[in-house]
């Protein structure tokens, strides 16, 4: 049984559900269900290989090795080195994705842990290692959820304060987001480009991070809202960027051109196998 009182099997099933939501391939989802079997039972890699095949056995073996390596490396408290080693240790990026899904579900059930010290250690470890790793791989949804739960656990008063400010702001800014979305849609129609546009308030953790880095208060933040325009090609991206610049002033020193200098994403180092649907 887990500390939540649920049967332990609920954990690997939830990990598989997270992997399914990421549209991972069949082998990854099966390996997600099996990811703790070697570490927590008498099952061997050879048994997994005989029943599920070499590919699934290799992925499970990779997750098992990563877990053992994780325990020894964390003792050294070399966070940045550990993140690099996590990446280099995984010959298949699916191993890392399963590890992230595993951590995400553990974060979702963190509240059931009885030891406050252990809860805070897991939350800090998640902020320092797993959420940056999720960002580097390009899985923003997992990164955001991990940060949200960890932030809430480590700094509950600050989290609640920012959350309440955002709630009040959302009530007054919902129309603003809708209005800007409509304006952006009009501008892109001038270019005859099909695109998807969305607007949102930024997460409490990202706001807190900006406040710390820039040493400013909540009221001094100028980028609490974010808008995303998704197009099909890089030339279209340049066209849309051009029309945005003609209609909105750039804040000096704040604009970053990720078209000419893209963010480094780990997925370009591996073959990521996704399902056909």
- Catalytic site positions: 39-40
Which parts of 112-155 fold into alpha helices (H)? 116-125, 131-137, 140-154
Alpha-carbon dihedral sign for residues 95, 98, 104, 110:
negative
**Rounded to the nearest 10 degrees, what angle do helices 10-21 and 26-34 cross at?**
160
Q: In whole angstroms, what is the distance from residue 246 CA to residue 265 CA?
A: 30
Q: Which residues lie below 8 Å from residue 124, measured CB to CB, with a gap of 6+?
A: 150, 154
Report the Cα–Cα distance between both ends of the chain, in Å, rounded.
Answer: 34
Q: How would DSSP label each residue in 180-212?
A: HHHHHHHHHHHTT---EEEEEEPPHHHHHHHHH
């Amino acid at each position: 049984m887990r500390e939540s009182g649920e049967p332990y099997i609920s954990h690997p099933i939830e990990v598989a559900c997270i992997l399914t939501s990421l549209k991972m391939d069949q082998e990854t989802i099966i390996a997600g269900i099996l990811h703790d079997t070697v570490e927590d039972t008498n099952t061997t890699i050879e048994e997994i290989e005989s029943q599920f095949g070499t590919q699934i056995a290799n992925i499970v073996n990779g997750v098992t090795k990563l877990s053992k390596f994780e325990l020894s490396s964390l003792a050294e408290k070399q966070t940045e080195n550990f993140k690099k080693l996590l990446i280099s240790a995984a010959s298949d990026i699916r191993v890392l994705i399963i590890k992230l899904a595993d951590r995400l579900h553990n974060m979702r059930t963190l509240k059931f842990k009885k030891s406050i010290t252990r809860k805070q250690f897991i939350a800090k470890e998640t902020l320092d290692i797993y959420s940056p790793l999720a960002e580097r791989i390009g899985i923003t949804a997992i990164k955001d959820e991990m940060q949200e739960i960890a932030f809430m656990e480590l700094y509950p008063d600050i989290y609640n304060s920012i959350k309440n400010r955002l709630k009040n702001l959302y009530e007054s800014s919902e129309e603003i987001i809708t209005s800007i979305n409509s304006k952006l849609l009009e501008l892109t129609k001038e270019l005859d480009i099909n695109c998807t546009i969305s607007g949102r308030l930024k997460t409490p953790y990202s706001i807190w991070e900006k406040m710390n880095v820039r040493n400013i208060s909540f009221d001094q933040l100028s980028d609490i809202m974010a808008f995303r325009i998704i197009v099909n090609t890089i030339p279209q991206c340049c066209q849309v960027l051009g029309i945005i610049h003609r209609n909105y002033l750039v804040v000096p020193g704040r604009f970053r051109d990720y078209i000419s200098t893209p963010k480094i994403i780990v997925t370009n180092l591996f073959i990521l196998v996704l399902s056909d649907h």
